[in-house]
Amino acid sequence: MAARSFSISRLPGFNAIAVLVFVVLYLPIIVLVIYSFNAGRSISDWEGLSLHWYAVAWDNDDVKDATIRSLYLAVTAAVISTAVATMAALGTTRRRAFRGQTFIYVMINQPLMVPEIVTAVALLIFFAAIRQATGYQGMGYLVAAHAAFCIPFAYLPIRARLEGMDLTLETAASDLYASDWQVFRHVTFPILLPGILAGLMLAFVTSLDDVVITVFIKSAGQDTLPTYMLGQIRRQVTGEINAISSALLALTVALLTLFFLLTRKRD
Amino acid sequence: MSPAEQAQIRRAARNGWLLSAPALVILALAAVGPLIIVVVYSFLLPGKYGNVVWGFSLDAWRGILFTRDIFDGTLAWADANLTIFWRSVKLSILTTVFTFVVGFPTAWFIATRPPRGRALWLFLITIPFWTNLLIRTFAINEIIRNEGLLNTTLMRLGLISKPIEMIYTDGAVFVGMTYVYLPLMVLPLFAAIDRFDMRLLEAGYDLYASRWQVLRRVILPIVKPGIVAGSILVFVPALGAYVTPRILGGGKNMMIGNFIELQFGQGRNWPLGASLSVTLLVIVTAALLVYVRYANGDDRNGR
Q: How many CB atoms lie within 10 A of CB B38?
A: 24
Contact yes or no for B139 and A229 at CB 8 A: no
pLDDT for residue A3: 46
Residues B28 and B93 in one domain: no
Is residue B48 included in any domain, yes or no? no
Is residue B44 included in any domain, yes or no? no
Reduce the DSSP state of residue A50 to 3 states and report it: coil
CA separation for the pair A18, B110 (Å, rounded): 8
Residues B292 and B173 in one domain: yes
**Which among A13, A216, A226 is the nearest to B132, CB-wise?**
A226
Is residue B25 included in any domain, yes or no? yes
Instruction: Say yes or no: A112 contacts chain B, CB-CB below 8 A.
Output: no
Q: For residue A237, is pLDDT > 70?
A: no
Q: For residue B269, is pLDDT > 70?
A: yes
Residues B150 and B271 in one domain: yes
Is residue B90 included in any domain, yes or no? yes
Residues B186 and B107 in one domain: yes
DSSP tag of A8? T
Contact yes or no for B257 and A117 at CB 8 A: yes
Contact yes or no for B27 and A119 at CB 8 A: no
CA separation for the pair A32, A30 (Å, rounded): 5
Cβ within 8 Å of residue B1, ≥6 positions away? none
pLDDT for residue A5: 52
**CA-based nearest distance B277→chain A, Å:** 5
pLDDT for residue A71: 95
Phi, psi at residue B134, to the nearest 5°?
-65, -45
Instruction: Say yes or no: B6 contacts chain A, CB-CB below 8 A.
Output: no
Instruction: Say yes or no: B126 contacts chain A, CB-CB below 8 A.
Output: yes
Contact yes or no for A226 and B18 at CB 8 A: no
Q: Report A:68-87 residues touching B (Cβ under 8 A).
A: 80-81, 83-85, 87
Nearest to B205 by CA among B217, B187, B188, B190: B217
Is residue B167 included in any domain, yes or no? yes
Contact yes or no for A237 and B142 at CB 8 A: yes
Instruction: Count how many pairs of residues, chain A against chain B, have C-beta atoms within 8 Å.
Output: 272
Residues B107 and B252 in one domain: yes
Cα–Cα separations (whole angstroms), residue B164 to A39, B130, B150, B155: 27, 31, 9, 10
Q: For residue A263, is pLDDT > 80?
A: no
**Which among A108, A115, A256 is the nearest to B284, CB-wise?**
A115
Q: Which of A88-102, B30-44, B81-95, B125-139 has the lowest mean pLDDT?
A: A88-102
Q: Report B:150-189 residues touching A (Cβ under 8 A).
A: 152-153, 179, 182-183
Q: For residue B218, is pLDDT > 60?
A: yes
pLDDT for residue B116: 82
Residues B220 and B276 in one domain: yes
Over residues B140-161, mean pLDDT? 87
Q: State the burial class of residue A207 (Cβ atoms within 10 Å of its Cβ: 0-12, 13-18, 19+).
A: buried
What percentage of chain B carries pLDDT values higher than 90? 49
Q: For residue B211, is pLDDT > 60?
A: yes
Q: What is the pLDDT of residues A123-179, one digit of tens each?
A: 999 999 999 999 999 999 999 999 999 999 999 989 988 888 877 888 888 889 988
Cα–Cα separations (whole angstroms), residue B25 to A149, B21, B30: 13, 6, 9
Count H helices and E strands in chain A, helices first.
12, 0
Q: Superfamily for A60-263?
A: MetI-like (1.10.3720.10)
Instruction: Say yes or no: B63 contacts chain A, CB-CB below 8 A.
Output: no
DSSP tag of A177? T
Nearest to A91 by CA among A108, A115, A111: A108
Considering only CB atoms, which chain A residues are within 8 Å of B121?
Answer: 22
Residues B2 and B106 in one domain: no
Most B-contacting residue of A10, A11, A53, A105 (CB-CB within 10 A), to test interface: A11
Over residues B60-84, mean pLDDT? 85
The domain total for chain B is: 2
Q: Which of A90-99, A201-210, B50-59 has the lowest mean pLDDT?
A: A90-99
Q: Where residue A236 falls among pLDDT bands split at 50, 70, 90?
A: low
Contact yes or no for A117 and B51 at CB 8 A: no
Q: Where residue A193 falls among pLDDT bands split at 50, 70, 90?
A: very high
Residue numbers of the domain that contains B2? 1-33
ipTM over 0.85? The verdict is yes
What percentage of chain A carries pLDDT values higher than 90? 55
Chain B residue with minimal CA distance to A25?
Answer: B179
Reduce the DSSP state of residue A38 to 3 states and report it: strand
Mean pLDDT of chain B, nearest integer: 89
Q: For residue A267, is pLDDT > 50?
A: no
> Domain segments of chain A: what residues?
13-50, 60-263
Instruction: Say yes or no: A106 contacts chain B, CB-CB below 8 A.
Output: no
DSSP tag of A184? I
Q: For residue B252, is pLDDT > 50?
A: yes
Q: For residue A43, is pLDDT > 80?
A: no
3-state secondary structure A67-121: HHHHHHHHHHHHHHHHHHHHHHHHHHCCCCCCCCHHHHHHHHHHHHHCCHHHHHH
Over residues B26-53, mean pLDDT? 91
Cβ within 8 Å of residue B120, ≥6 positions away? none
Q: For residue B85, is pLDDT > 50?
A: yes
pLDDT for residue A1: 42
CB contact at 8 A, B175 and B140: yes
- Determine the residue type at B144: I
CB contact at 8 A, A93 and A105: no
Over residues A196-211, mean pLDDT? 92
> Of A57-71, A172-186, B287-301, which one has max mean pLDDT?
A57-71
CA separation for the pair B59, B61 (Å, rounded): 5
pLDDT for residue B303: 39
Residues B164 and B219 in one domain: yes
Over residues B107-127, mean pLDDT? 90
CB contact at 8 A, A206 and B130: no
Contact yes or no for A249 and B135 at CB 8 A: yes
B52 φψ region: left (φ > 0), alpha (ψ -120 to 50), beta (else) = beta
Is residue B50 included in any domain, yes or no? no
3-state secondary structure B21-63: HHHHHHHHHHHHHHHHHHHHHCCCEECCCCCEECCCCCHHHHH
pLDDT for residue B302: 39
B67 or A247, higher pLDDT: A247
Considering only CB atoms, which chain B residues are within 8 Å of A99?
Answer: 13
What percentage of chain A carries pLDDT values higher than 70? 93
Q: Report A:202-241 residues touching B (Cβ under 8 A).
A: 205, 208-209, 211-212, 216, 226, 229-230, 233-234, 237, 241
Q: Where residue B297 falls among pLDDT bands split at 50, 70, 90?
A: low
What distance separates the 2 farthest-apart alpha carbons in chain A? 80
**Which among B140, B149, B183 is the nearest to A44, CB-wise?**
B149
Q: For residue A49, is pLDDT > 70?
A: yes
Nearest to B142 by CA among A145, A152, A109, A243: A243
Q: Where residue A21 falls among pLDDT bands split at 50, 70, 90?
A: very high
Residues B22 and B99 in one domain: no
Most A-contacting residue of B89, B138, B157, B275 (CB-CB within 10 A), to test interface: B138
**CA-based nearest distance A219→chain B, Å:** 14
Q: For residue A88, is pLDDT > 50?
A: yes
Q: What's the CATH code of the domain at B167?
A: 1.10.3720.10
Q: Which residues pair with B67 in a beta bridge?
A: B76
Residues B87 and B1 in one domain: no
A264 or A27, higher pLDDT: A27
Reduce the DSSP state of residue A36 to 3 states and report it: helix
Nearest to B110 by CA among B124, B100, B96: B124
Residues B128 and B228 in one domain: yes
pLDDT for residue B69: 74
Contact yes or no for A108 and B109 at CB 8 A: no
**Which among A18, A91, A125 is the nearest to B38, CB-wise?**
A125
Residues B154 and B291 in one domain: yes
Nearest to B245 by CA among B263, B229, B262, B265: B262
